[in-house]
Amino acid sequence: MSSISHILIAGGGLAAQRCCETLRARGYDGSIAVACAEPVAPYDRPPLSKEWLAGEPVDPALRPPGWHAEHGVELLLGRAARRLDPHRRVLELDDGERLRYDRLVIATGSRPVALPGLEGFENVQPLRTLADAERLRGALAAGGSLAVVGAGLIGLEVAATARRLGLRVTVIEAGPAPMAAILGAEAGSRLARMHREEGVDVRVRTTVERALGSARVEALELVGGLRVPCDHVVVGVGVRPATAWLEGSGLDPAAVAVDELGRTSVAGVSAAGDAACRLDPLSGRQMPGAHWESAVRGGTAAACGLLGLPAPAPAIPSFWSDQYGVRLQCVGDPRAADGVAFAGDPAGRAFELTYMRGGRTAAVLLAGRPPAALRAARDRIDVQSHDHPRSIAA
């Protein structure tokens, strides 16, 4: 391994943090600098739609104050990456400063997709950053009615938290059911029923036709004519990698493909987390990272790559959610399924859905099940069931 003495990380989220931790844990003693667009030290996003949003006294910081100084990690906060010159190995920040590096890790995460008809209103927002969450927490504390556009993980968790706080909540989803594109119709209809039982007005197979109001949205008019009055609107219709700043660098700003050690096609440049498209060892497909665990594994893998260490063992993809005290856990890739088997109480909230593909278990979704059930589910996932055709982006 050639000598590396200066590692620069663009982005300061979970992947960046785990990359720093692994670098130090494995003995790297050169410098590390983290340029983070947000003005706060790395924090954990999952609580921002759940307990933190509800006003519980949880601290989202990933590490205690002082950790970065103690571990020789220089935090450049409030400073976003603007341009990359990989030939000179220089990263330019949005304040014009140019930073040299031996190795760069792109970890700038993702940004929420905006809906054109809902831009520019005072009371419409995404939920991605701590600043977004602070704004939403203030709006929810004021009570009233909330419209959630998009029934994905973020939208459903916000809806559940808002109901817990006593707001009137409407969820508007273009698909046939909440999360149906990922989890299928069976899981989607159970999620819809749970939210309706909790008092959420769940509207599926419809979209926002237009927003009524001037500076503030007063109501959303849906396709079909229904009007949804709202004091506040959260848009959660997906994310895209926040890598537009890579234009002209030689890397594809739409999708930064990396190998199992986080290395890109450009010398000296790695990527991790939502900003990277990792080669999924189960499917052979280049998959954008979009969940907490993929950011953890990507950050760790990138650090191993920088240090010339072997890649960590491949892991089965997984994500979790908490809604109304029910924990949802998904392991494997349910999108690969050709059949779904249900087990549990048909009328209840505790169940397991097993997603089959070619007679093998491709994924398991657990709702309200104990930890041992998740361990058993992981053991049932069959890697052979993920036999997608191999295609490499970039």
Partner 1 sequence: MSLIPEIDTSACVAHGDCVHVAPQAFRLDDVAVTIGVAPDELLIEAARACPSAAIVLIDSETGEEVRV
Q: Which residue ranges make up the site for partner 1 (CB under 8 A)?
A: 21-22, 25, 44, 58, 292-293, 296-297, 313, 318, 320, 327, 329, 370-375, 378
Whole-number minimum distance, CB 306 to partner 1, in Å?
Answer: 16
- Our CB check for partner 1 shows the closer of 26 and 82 to be 26
| Neighbour count for residue 70 (Cβ, 10 Å) | 10
Whole-number minimum distance, CB 6 to partner 1, in Å?
Answer: 23
Distance (Å, rounded) from C-alpha 387 to C-alpha 286? 13
Whole-number minimum distance, CB 94 to partner 1, in Å?
Answer: 31
Note whether 219 and 230 are within 8 A (CB).
Answer: yes
Whole-number minimum distance, CB 336 to partner 1, in Å?
Answer: 21
Whole-number minimum distance, CB 15 to partner 1, in Å?
Answer: 12
Whole-number minimum distance, CB 332 to partner 1, in Å?
Answer: 14
Whole-number minimum distance, CB 97 to partner 1, in Å?
Answer: 33
- Our CB check for partner 1 shows the closer of 59 and 338 to be 59
For the chain, count helices (H), then strands (E).
7, 26
Note whether 266 and 86 are within 8 A (CB).
Answer: yes
* Residues near 205 by beta carbon (within 8 Å), at least 6 away in sequence: 173, 174, 175, 176
- Our CB check for partner 1 shows the closer of 63 and 388 to be 63
Q: Tokens standing for 238? A: 């997906």
- Our CB check for partner 1 shows the closer of 19 and 147 to be 19
- Our CB check for partner 1 shows the closer of 308 and 370 to be 370
Ramachandran angles phi, psi of 46, nearest 5°? -50, -40
- Our CB check for partner 1 shows the closer of 46 and 112 to be 46
For 205-313, where are the E strands, in sequence order? 208-212, 219-222, 227-229, 232-235, 239-241, 256-258, 269-271, 276-279, 286-288
Q: Closest Cα to residue 99, out of 132, 67, 76?
A: 76
- Our CB check for partner 1 shows the closer of 102 and 293 to be 293
Distance (Å, rounded) from C-alpha 109 to C-alpha 239? 9
